Amino acid sequence: MKLSPQSQHALMSMLVLASQQNGAQPVEEAPLVALSGLSVRVRISVSYLEQLFKQLREANLVMSQRGPDGGYRLSRPSSQITLADVARAVNPERKAYMDPSHQHLLDRLNVHVDNFLNSVTLADILAPVEQAEQDEAAAAA
């Protein structure tokens, strides 16, 4: 079993938003990320991102601001958004890519996948990346 393409794209996009957030600041002060810029970073069309972010906004995972300086930011700290939150927002039925005759196996596997996705936050994913960047900066100094 694997995450749907929609879930994978949404997770990558949410990680970009999370990387823009400074953990010490209120989420309302995090920089806004325009979908046009995000499109370039994650290599997904703007129209597809619009569809994903509509679902993410409806799930209260992101907030948006309209206008020329508008964009999106996380609606709460990245440490409070799990991978499961993101995956469920864009793929609530979580269709499996497995032969239906193996449904009993799929059901058991889903329990483990759900437990994992519910235990990992966006901040957990970003922590090693941020530490590596800090290590590189310290080595360069």
Query: What CATH number corresponds to the domain at position 112?
Result: 1.10.10.10
Torsion of Cα atoms, 27 then 68 then 33 then 41, to 10°? 180
Please count the structural domains in the chain.
Answer: 1
Q: How many CB atoms lie within 10 A of CB 23?
A: 12
The 10s digit of each residue's pLDDT in 35-53 is 999 999 999 999 999 999 9
| The model's pTM | 0.75
Structural domain containing residue 88 = 5-140
Q: CB under 8 Å to 98, separation ≥6 — which residues?
A: 1, 105, 106
**pLDDT tens per residue, range 74-93:** 999 988 999 889 988 998 77
First-to-last alpha carbon distance for the chain, in angstroms, is 45
